Structure 1
Amino acid sequence: MKISDMTLLEKILQTVVIKVDKDNFVSDKIGAAFFFGEIITEADEMGLDAARKTLAEYIDNADIPILITSDFENGCGSMLKGLTPLPYLMSLGAADSEKLAYNYGKATALEARSVGANWSFSPVCDLNINKRNPLVNVRGLTDDVNLAIKLLPQVIKGMQDNGLAACAKHFPGDGLDYRDQHIVTTNNTLSFDEWKKKSGKVFEEVIKSGVYSVMSGHITLPSYQKEIFDNGMKLPATLSHELIENLLKKEMGFDGVVVTDALGMGGFNGWYKTMDISQIESFKAGCDMMLWPSENYVKNMTEAIENGYIPMSRLDDAVTRILSMKEKMGLFKKDNHAITLSEKDREFVKNTQKNVAEKSVTLMRDDADIFPLTTEKYKKIAVIPITHHIPAFDEGKLLADLLGEKGFDVQYLKDGIKKTETDGYDLILYALFSRPFRPIGFLDFHSTEAQKVAISLQTAVDKTAVVSFGSPYFMNQYFERAKTFVNAYSMLSPSVKAFVSAATGETEFSSFSPVEV
């Protein structure tokens, strides 16, 4: 398709990423549609057949091939029930396998394509350098730039080789601040020399690997930015010409699509008087596609182009990048509908899930010599879940049930244990469940779960083990004195099963931690 043949309206519509509305197709020339949830929500209840039908309508009605996208950060099952959730990306870091990294991307691509999706807002390329960062944590692969540049390009290759465009996020790099860009603008606080060696190096390498798109974060990079906003502060990347046009596109040579993070987030809004103004400024700054713009966006963009506030060259550059990505994906030449997975494909996805989970369970220490668990040594086990994400109690129950199936006498003590009750058990197993945005806020334990932590190591230390199905930093944040600690990184069923297999000696623990704890 030639950009010279497009009307102004067609060009502007290509820069829009809307939310899928199964009852209302917005336009036949829209650039992209995002379906179901977000990283902050649970998987959609819509069945797979209904999902395929809805997305097929978008594809059929699109006059210009449409991008269908979602947050497939850890496989597709977190966005659409009935598909397969993969252990969180930090599990892949713990597995430390380029082959598994490629398979992780491929498995994601196969299931995404099975419902008609062709673009994923992943992988997360942020280095989780700040242990207190509430948003990256297990969503990120590692805090080690060398491990990141070893595995992330393989994830991207696995996705893009199999028809799913990847999106590296969140430029210029989250994971340094202790705050959350959903709430406030955050900062990448590295000196520019350090940024080039760390966050910048990761983005440099994934750009070299051929990633089709990059997501700009509501994050500043003060060490690079010279421009001062009228409140005396530096603008986030989504509003910064310096960071997007100068650094990312010109200096780093990225010629793909730059999409904003969600425009409704607290880190984006408030810099200008209204969101309507902010999104025009974002486009002017160099972002090519707007994620969930307001209903006035098209009208306001039209006015901004017609009155010269945004030059036509900026719009043509954005549309050229978008159409080029669609050309690379072959969307103008091939059927863009959902593919049918073979039994071999389905088996591959399930095996990838199992392999990543099993190869990532990390035995951090076992000074009490508790593992492997045997029914001769540990006849009666207390399993105590600690979490402030209510649905995770189901995974805690699964842990207890799986141990029960192995022949142990297991009591699932959802409300915790009293110090006077510990003598009645041969093993006390604390299971910690967490992940970013479950719920919103810091990952710290508080209220009733904090009380469970408080008594956890006051008695029976030698027969107490702790496993974290979430933040790896709990080991020294709360359980510094625990003699036995395991990191499993992911509060999903496959990771719970993998822990039980390793704990009972059926599989081996990993000894590699992808982050410094």
Structure 2
Amino acid sequence: EASAIGCNWSFAPIVDINRNWRNPIISNRCWSGDADMVLEYSLEYMRGIMESGIAPAAKHFPGDGIDERDQHLSFAPNWLSCEEWDATFGKVYGGLFEAGLPSIMAGHIALPEYVKYFNPEATTEELYMPATLSKYILTDLLRGKMKFNGLVVTDASHMVAMTSAMKRSEMLPTAIAAGSDIFLFFNDPDEDFGYMMDGYKNGIITDERLNEALTRILGTKAALGLHKKAKTEIMMPKEEAMARIGLPENKAIAAEVADKGIVLVKNTEDIFPISPEKHKRILLVDVKGTEGGFGALIGAQGPKPSQIMKEMLEKEGFEVSIWESPADKIMKLPPEERMAAIGSIYAAKRPITDLTDNYDLIINLAIVNPNTDQRIQWPASKGTPDIPFYVNEVPTIFISLQCPFHLADVPQVKTYINAYDNKDFTLSSLVDKMLGRSEFKGVSSVDAFCGLGDTKYGISSQLISCAVN
């Protein structure tokens, strides 16, 4: 489908290794916390898209998933030792290079231990310079030690981990001098071209480095055969291209992936299958994170997953309600009435029987978008269904539709599912599994228990070992 609409270069696969459950940016964007699995899946992704004439650019070299911060918003170094890096990220990238990977995307991620390896006297600024601006990482490690001769593109040139390292007028030519061949995104085309020309004139970019970068750019285009095609030939005619989008066989693959990917992480109350006979009255509760961030803009499109699931469950014969929190109700009030309502928010507390007498099952749906973190944010009210305090009173299912690490914030829940996204076919597969029409087939590729003991509450030690392995 991408090839049909003219895409010939993909900033993928994401080959980061998820070793830190607090990391907010790659929690559901990478394959695994295991280097061998990351390499296996990345090789298949690379093979698949190259069959369609698309060049892959593995990212984010030298590797995200170790720090808990987001390189869009802050410095976020890779803290591994040289030996640890070689055995993980180095193994993944090395395997891809051997298979002919044509390009990589460099991340704004420092690798201080390898800088020390190349320069034991490195300054603090040199140690923590993001890879996109570090000659030690892009030239000495990537080009020299690892022998990679493909194209290097920077990650976006407006991300804070890069822009805060030095003035933009120095940053852009320094990226090329360090070993990047292309930088991604303009701030202002005329201004940025001016900065690049100034960097060439004052010697930051040498003729040798400029020619190397241009050769790799042109070589990559030639390898894709673009030098033999007119611009009108790169993309199919619109009608022909659109005829290849959304084909039934492609949608079937998406549904198959969802079916095999959904993971029942924790199941200590034997709640499945649910049915209208046992769980007629269902309450759906939206669980939220910090509002804002780029992910929130994407997630704001279309109906809420709770609304989609409500309709699906009602078709199965359930009576379904969606909880509206006191905080959401307050925000609908005129400003002059909000303060009085906030002052009485604790009046929302009520008898447990208000839940036990009215609901047979409560389903928490968490769709928490990346921000400075990707943690659940609980409301100020207490004793309301927003927070699953009632897991011993009412059968409760907690479902994460993005981040696979929410057990850290709800260790008390007895039934926990990671579904990874909220697409219609995923929600449909999820309902099938809860109803017993399909088995839970997914196996967690990360430690969904977050390395914490209390998240395993209620699970026997034998089952914990199986789940983690």
Question: TM class by shorter-chain length?
Answer: 0.7 to 0.9
Q: CA deviation at 1:230?
A: 6.7
Residues 119 and 405 (structure 1 numbering): CA distance in 2 closer, same or farther, change over 3 Å? same
Query: Is 1:361 aligned with 2:292?
Result: no
What is the DSSP-based 3-state SS (H/G/I as helix, E as strand, rest coil) of the residue aligned with 1:186? Answer: coil
Residue pair 2:368, 2:376 contacting (<8 A) in 1 also: no
* Aligned position for 1:87: none
Q: CA deviation at 1:391?
A: 2.7
CA distance in 2, matches of 1:505, 1:371: 7
* Aligned position for 1:267: 161
* Aligned position for 1:516: 447
What is the DSSP-based 3-state SS (H/G/I as helix, E as strand, rest coil) of the residue aligned with 1:375? Answer: coil
> Where in structure 1 do 4 or more consecutive aligned residues deviate above 6 Å?
none
Query: Is 1:408 aligned with 2:318?
Result: yes
CA distance in 2, matches of 1:490, 1:155: 19
* Aligned position for 2:361: 427
> What does 1:144-223 correspond to in 2, within 5 Å?
144-223=34-113
Q: CA deviation at 1:296?
A: 2.8
- Counting aligned pairs with the same residue, the percent is 31
* Aligned position for 2:236: 338
> What does 1:87-106 correspond to in 2, within 5 Å?
none
Residues 449 and 276 (structure 1 numbering): CA distance in 2 closer, same or farther, change over 3 Å? farther
Q: CA deviation at 1:194?
A: 0.6
What is the DSSP-based 3-state SS (H/G/I as helix, E as strand, rest coil) of the residue aligned with 1:261? Answer: strand
CA distance in 2, matches of 1:329, 1:312: 26
CA distance in 2, matches of 1:225, 1:162: 38
CA distance in 1, matches of 2:380, 2:7: 39
Which one-letter code corresponds to 2:210 in the other structure? L
Q: CA deviation at 1:449?
A: 8.6
Query: Is 1:130 aligned with 2:20?
Result: yes
Which one-letter code corresponds to 2:366 in the other structure? L
CA distance in 2, matches of 1:450, 1:432: 18
> What does 1:420-459 correspond to in 2, within 5 Å?
420-423=353-356, 424-436=358-370, 440-448=371-379, 455-459=387-391
Of 292, 296, 306, which aligns to 2:191? 296
Q: CA deviation at 1:145?
A: 0.9
Q: CA deviation at 1:511?
A: 4.4
Query: Is 1:391 aligned with 2:300?
Result: yes
Give the TM-score of the pair, scaled to structure 1.
Answer: 0.73
* Aligned position for 1:119: 9
What is the DSSP-based 3-state SS (H/G/I as helix, E as strand, rest coil) of the residue aligned with 1:381? Answer: strand
CA distance in 2, matches of 1:455, 1:345: 39
CA distance in 2, matches of 1:231, 1:151: 35
Q: What residue ranges of structure 1 are gaps of 5+ in the alignment? A: 1-109
Q: CA deviation at 1:302?
A: 3.1
Of 438, 445, 460, which aligns to 1:507? 438
* Aligned position for 2:398: 466
Residues 303-353 of structure 1: per-residue CA shift (max 9 Å, x gap): 433454422111111111111111111112242123634469722321222
Query: Is 1:491 aligned with 2:422?
Result: yes
* Aligned position for 2:136: 242
Which one-letter code corresponds to 2:223 in the other structure? K
Q: CA deviation at 1:211?
A: 2.4
Q: CA deviation at 1:450?
A: 8.8
Residue pair 1:371, 1:503 contacting (<8 A) in 2 also: yes
Which one-letter code corresponds to 2:74 in the other structure? V
Q: CA deviation at 1:486?
A: 1.0
What is the DSSP-based 3-state SS (H/G/I as helix, E as strand, rest coil) of the residue aligned with 1:466? Answer: strand
Residues 300 and 466 (structure 1 numbering): CA distance in 2 closer, same or farther, change over 3 Å? closer
Q: What residue ranges of structure 2 are gaps of 5+ in the alignment? A: 290-295, 327-347, 449-469
* Aligned position for 2:170: 277
Q: CA deviation at 1:478?
A: 2.0
Residues 148 and 407 (structure 1 numbering): CA distance in 2 closer, same or farther, change over 3 Å? same
CA distance in 1, matches of 2:385, 2:128: 40
* Aligned position for 2:222: 327
Residues 59-107 of structure 1: per-residue CA shift (max 9 Å, x gap): xxxxxxxxxxxxxxxxxxxxxxxxxxxxxxxxxxxxxxxxxxxxxxxxx
Residue pair 1:360, 1:510 contacting (<8 A) in 2 also: yes
Residue correspondences, number: 402
* Aligned position for 2:252: 351
* Aligned position for 1:373: 274
> What does 1:64-75 correspond to in 2, within 5 Å?
none
Residues 420 and 338 (structure 1 numbering): CA distance in 2 closer, same or farther, change over 3 Å? farther
Residues 170 and 427 (structure 1 numbering): CA distance in 2 closer, same or farther, change over 3 Å? same
What is the DSSP-based 3-state SS (H/G/I as helix, E as strand, rest coil) of the residue aligned with 2:65? Answer: coil
Of 24, 30, 38, which aligns to 1:140? 30
What is the DSSP-based 3-state SS (H/G/I as helix, E as strand, rest coil) of the residue aligned with 2:249? Answer: helix
Residues 348-374 of structure 1: per-residue CA shift (max 9 Å, x gap): 321222111111111112221111122
- Name which one, 1 or 2, has greater alpha-carbon Rg: 2
CA distance in 1, matches of 2:37, 2:126: 37
CA distance in 2, matches of 1:449, 1:357: 35
Residue pair 1:216, 1:260 contacting (<8 A) in 2 also: yes
Residue pair 2:24, 2:69 contacting (<8 A) in 1 also: yes
What is the DSSP-based 3-state SS (H/G/I as helix, E as strand, rest coil) of the residue aligned with 1:428? Answer: strand
Worse-matched range after superposition: 275-284 or 440-449? 440-449
Which one-letter code corresponds to 1:310 in the other structure? I
Query: Is 1:314 aligned with 2:223?
Result: no
Q: CA deviation at 1:142?
A: 0.9
Q: CA deviation at 1:229?
A: 4.6
CA distance in 1, matches of 2:210, 2:244: 44
Root-mean-square deviation over aligned CA pairs: 2.3
Residue pair 1:279, 1:293 contacting (<8 A) in 2 also: no
Which one-letter code corresponds to 2:128 in the other structure? K
CA distance in 1, matches of 2:430, 2:380: 22
